[in-house]
Structure 1
Amino acid sequence: MKEAIRSIFRRFNLDLITWPHGLERLEPQVISASKHYPVNGLIDVGACSGAFYRSLKPFCDFKQVLLIEPQAAMASMLAREFPSRNVHVFNAAVAKSCGISPLYIYGSPDFSSLLKPSPEGLKIFQELRILKETKNISTSTLDSLIAPVVDDALSFVLKIDAQGLDYQIIQSSPAALALCPIVCVEAPLIPIYEEQATFQDLYDFMCKAGYSISSISPVSRNAETSEIVELNLVFVKSRI
């Protein structure tokens, strides 16, 4: 896995030692990719407070926006802030299959997940040491959730921030993936949740699905060592 990561960095002329912190925001990279891969829709899995959509909105003419958030309070806030007819807010949890699963709500809403933290995650992030609440919720696949409303004539940005479930979701969403020339996922270098797929899993799957990497940036670091823990990967549909 390490050699695969190094080869990608070399391909994009990125220096692992002096990699600039200024590139660590996802939104500018998506805006840049959208200039080459025009999109007019957004599917945001794990929308949280809506920051991703809010940042892209001035730059992208989205005809349809699907915001998916499992935490009821966050979903209600999204519905109030974005009342437009072309914005659909789902208070739902997306997973690899439909069913019932526990949702673990940790010290920060950004860490809440259907997965328990790994030993490494507990060491690195104190937010994961605080379990505020556990509740059982219904889960759906992304394809089944959006099928009744998605406009399949549009081209979408798909952003998944599902706290360890990104690979499971994208692997079980062939219909949604077919609509998305730009896909944003998080990939761990150090898995912070149990049963979390690796960087290599995500990279291999997306390459086999016909995508290539447009950009890479850190999501989080170990505060004590500055070691990168998770990466944002922006994939674009390969034209080769």
Structure 2
Amino acid sequence: MKQMESFGNDLVLDVGANAGQFGQELREAGYRGDIHSFEPLDDAFAILAQTAARDARWNVKNCALGAERGESVIHVSNNSFSSSLLGMLPTHEEAAPESKYVRDQKISVETLDHLFPDIVSRKRSIWLKIDTQGFENQVIAGAKRSLAQIDTVQMEVSLTPLYDGALSIEQMISMMSSHGYCIVDVEPEFCDQATGRLFQVNLTFHRY
């Protein structure tokens, strides 16, 4: 929250919002700017929409963001927030059995570039948060034009492969560097409780 205040962010794009946990954390921390949340899972979106309905500055959309517009199938995990458009690798399920996939759901996929003009009608200081379980690079691929107007990007990345086809942390850092961003914060996210091995971190990138 301190970084968000120092950067003067007044618009948060919450990609992979699940039931709205990130938005609620922001409000509890004192953020009063606009939030636009995107969540493809029907069950999680129902909770998200109910929460956001009480907040005039929180808008929600029932879709995933990716590299291309269309339809796809998401694998729904037992714990909901580990759901992904990618296959889950054994390392992930062994460390967190509650994350195993239990069903599939057909979803709508949009690109940030397509939605951006309707969301951002004037110059804003934007914080883009992406938590899409290995699909983060696809979100970025669909936001090539929009990135020029986004100064800060927070995303979850894996230190070890957890989803089939997801980029490595080295590839993600290289990709973001090519778009003009550098790392300004690292936060542990997911570890194996039995061994203490860290699997995922949240990286925050800011423009040079």
TM-score by length of 1: 0.80
Q: 1:122: how far off? A: 2.6
Q: 1:220: how far off? A: 0.5
Q: Call closer, same or farther: CA 1:34–1:149 in 2, change over 3 Å.
A: closer
Q: 1:147: how far off? A: 3.3
C-alpha contact (below 8 Å) 1:152/1:179 kept by paired residues = no
1:142 is aligned to: 112
Cα deviation, 1:112-153, whole Å, max 9, x if unaligned, reads 111110132232221243x32212222121222343233342
Instruction: Count how many residue pairs are aligned between Structure 1 and Structure 2.
Output: 206
- Aligned with 2:45: secondary structure? helix
With 95-104 and 160-169 compared, the bigger mean Cα shift is at 95-104
- The gaps in structure 2 that reach 5 residues or longer are none
Answer with 1 or 2: which has the greater Rg.
1
CA RMSD of aligned residues (A): 1.7
1:93 is aligned to: 64
Matches within 5 A, 1:194-233: 194-233=164-203
- Aligned with 1:56: secondary structure? helix
Q: Which amino acid aligns with 1:110?
A: F
- Aligned with 1:168: secondary structure? helix
2:124 is aligned to: 154
Matches within 5 A, 1:1-240: 31-57=1-27, 58-62=29-33, 64-83=34-53, 84-129=55-100, 131-238=101-208
C-alpha contact (below 8 Å) 2:66/2:141 kept by paired residues = no
CA distance in 2, matches of 1:41, 1:33: 14
Question: Which has the larger share of strand?
Answer: 2
Q: Which amino acid aligns with 2:112?
A: L
TM-score by length of 2: 0.91
CA distance in 1, matches of 2:201, 2:57: 30
- Aligned with 2:119: secondary structure? coil
CA distance in 1, matches of 2:67, 2:125: 23
Q: Which amino acid aligns with 2:19?
A: S
Q: Call closer, same or farther: CA 1:122–1:74 in 2, change over 3 Å.
A: closer
C-alpha contact (below 8 Å) 2:7/2:125 kept by paired residues = no
Deviating 4+ runs (over 3 angstroms): none
Q: Which amino acid aligns with 2:95?
A: I
